[in-house]
Amino acid sequence: MPFGGNSWQQDGLPLRQPSEYIRNGTAKLLCLFHPKDGQVRAKGVRSCTNLVLHEWLRQELSEIVENLPVAEAVNEEENRLMWRRWQEGLLWPITLPEKLPRLRMLLVMDNLKGHRTPQMVLWMFAHGIMPLYTPLGGSWLNMAESIQRIIKRRALECQHPQTPEEIIELLEATVRGWNREPTPFEWGGRRAARRARSRQRRHALGGSGACAARPVRVRQTITQQWQHSCQMTH
């Protein structure tokens, strides 16, 4: 009878994979993620040079911008203020060109050298795309990193691909399955609300920062009990 789990193997007969590791090449996943609706645009490649990455980004970003709603017309000064708003507080803001189109989209990317080439940045500016780079060591701020971990786990668990092409096929098939019923991402969702409620139910222990699930009873000395009884009598 079938039973739940990552495998349909019988008890005592687990699925075994060869222990040898043969490096037949690498497979990489180019990924664009829209947190609001959960849609993923991805492509598996054997290498991720700037030529490969930038060509794919131009193709996907052009299609995304074309399908956006028509932007409202604003004067040049207001438009430039909208662009500069997203550079407030940056130690090294990007120099904006003199002529800027209507701001259409924000693109969050890791702070990699290939993402900051002048040719690619100018192309994004020309198409109304503002690049925002996560701080060094802050890749967790890029939600595409989170969705890639989910896709990789779903695609490769309990699998034994022999070639990079098989890995790419598994990854892209998983992305297509994800897009049929995507899950939107949001900061401070239900999980954050549960953690907040859990913290509210805890009881602080002095000033140490530690907490307990229930209040700790404070033992009173004989002097404190006598003072309390005197106050009640008075």
Cα–Cα distance between 109 and 120 in angstroms, integer? 13
- Say yes or no: 80 and 170 in one domain: yes
Please write the tens of the pLDDT for every residue from 22-75. 778 899 999 999 998 999 999 999 999 999 999 999 999 999 999 988 888 888
Cβ contacts of 157 within 8 Å, gap of 6 or more = 6
The two beta strands, 39-45 and 28-34, are: antiparallel
Task: Report the pLDDT averaged over residues 183-187.
Answer: 84
Asked if residue 188 is part of any domain, the answer here is: no
Cα–Cα distance between 131 and 57 in angstroms, integer? 12
Cβ contacts of 232 within 8 Å, gap of 6 or more = none
- Say yes or no: 211 and 134 in one domain: no
Cβ contacts of 116 within 8 Å, gap of 6 or more = 131, 133
Please write the tens of the pLDDT for every residue from 202-222. 777 766 667 777 777 766 666
Please write the tens of the pLDDT for every residue from 61-94. 999 999 988 888 888 889 999 999 998 888 888 8
Which amino acid, one-letter code, is at 167? I
Which domain range does residue 155 map to?
A: 28-180
Structure tokens at 74: 């604003």
Q: What CATH number did the domain enclosing 36 receive? A: 3.30.420.10
Asked if residue 187 is part of any domain, the answer here is: no
